[in-house]
Amino acid sequence: MVTINDVAKKAGVSKSSVSRVLNGNFEHMSEEMKNKILRAVKDLNYTPNSVAQSLKKKSTKTIGIILSDISNPFWSGVLKGVQSECMRNGYGLMVSSSFEDPSVEEENILTLRNKQVDGLIVNTTGRNTDLFNELVKEKYPFVFFDRFSNDLQTDTVIVNNILGAKKTIQYLIDQGHDRIAILLYPTENKSPRIDRLEGYKQALLENNFPIDESLIKICDETNGSGIEATKEVLKLSQRATAIFSTNTLLNLEVLMGAKKLGFKVPEDVSVFGYDDYPWVPLLDPPLNTVAQPAYEMGKKATALLIKKMKSGKVQKSKIIQLEPELMIRSSCMAPKKVD
């Protein structure tokens, strides 16, 4: 490995001078010296060791991101946003995944902080409030995204989940549905799940519809739970005429469940899903979903974090809320007169 000393020796100058030109502090340096150094740098193909720089400067120029589950394709889009914003600002990116396990999340945070990453973007499990509080106390910069913490007021970028749910339920009601089921994974401390349920309820209430617990299905996070739940709401004596699925995987299972029962979508039951992808229009039937601006969320979260890191001082925490969008295709229609 070639070091700054090698360059200094080759150019016949001190390493301070080399450091100077590398850092752009050569306003008052003789042209000759500058050129000597630049040539040596090029000849030796030298490039400064960032680890040493980091130790000295107390900044690694890298940020960390902690995902709840890296294998969820939803992150592909947001990672692109994060990545491009990082590159634009000269930051590196470390990624890790908690797999929804709070203790793994804790481990991730500790490791990342040890590695001295300058800041964190986290899609939290919602269970490490104490740790996060400690981070704010020691002024370690981080932002939440996709999920926010009710227990902890801090910078966050999310999409408005209450609104997403509310708009879809309203859409369904406007179509004439009054038995609308909702499927979700256990809410636990996860704000999107809580909020989507909340939006569902708000829409119902505002239309003076009763809230029927038998239409609210919490599915455990195992394969097939959504299929079962679908069958259940479809077998009710007053069965659901529309199903609102709040998760990509659940979307698929609702479709499967309906099919297994011999229900046609949308003729026999309407379904409205969550999250949009290029393949959604090609499903059978083309599915209505609420689309989230994934790329933008990644980009905004990164920008917010970088801004926070730069400004040093603690500012009033900022919550950026993005808008979801209803993608209307052909998986919903007015209910047929109930049998």
Could you list the residues that contact DNA (CB under 7 A)? 1, 3-5, 13-17, 19-20, 22-23, 27-30, 32-33, 48-49, 52-53, 55-58
* DSSP helix/strand/coil, 261: coil
Residue 159 Cβ vs DNA, minimum distance, rounded to whole Å: 39
Which residues 6+ apart lie within 8 Å of 135 measured at CB?
A: 109, 113, 120, 142
| Residue 16 contact partner, candidates a copy of itself, DNA, none, CB within 5 to 8 A by sort of partner | DNA
- Smallest gap from Cβ 313 to DNA, in A, equals 19
Give the residue among 258, 219, 228, 226 at the shortest CA–CA distance from 241. Answer: 258
Q: CB 6 → DNA: shortest distance, Å?
A: 8
Interacting residues toward a copy of itself by CB under 8 A: 47-52, 54-55, 60, 62, 70-73, 75-77, 79-80, 83, 87, 92-97, 110-116, 249, 252, 255-256, 277-279, 282-285, 295
- Strands, sheet with 180-184, edge to edge from the N-terminal-most edge strand: 216-218, 180-184, 242-245, 270-274, 288-291, 325-327
Question: What are the C-alpha distances in Å from 189 to residues 208, 246, 314?
Answer: 28, 16, 26
Tokens of 81: 């946003």
Q: Which is nearer to DNA, 48 or 286 (CB)?
A: 48
Shorter beta-carbon distance to a copy of itself: residue 88 or 318: 88
Cβ atoms 21, 46 nearer than 8 A:
no
Q: Which does 14 bind (CB under 5 to 8 A by kind): DNA, a copy of itself, none?
A: DNA
Residue 127 beta carbon to a copy of itself: minimum distance, rounded to whole angstroms: 19
Nearer to DNA, 49 or 321 (CB): 49
Cβ of residue 46: shortest distance to DNA, in angstroms?
7
Q: Which is nearer to DNA, 45 or 237 (CB)?
A: 45
- Tokens standing for 332? 């919903």
DSSP string, 262-282: T--TTTT-EEEEE---TTGGG
Neighbours of 143 (CB within 10 A): 28
Partner from a copy of itself, DNA, none binding residue 329, C-beta < 5-8 Å depending on class: none
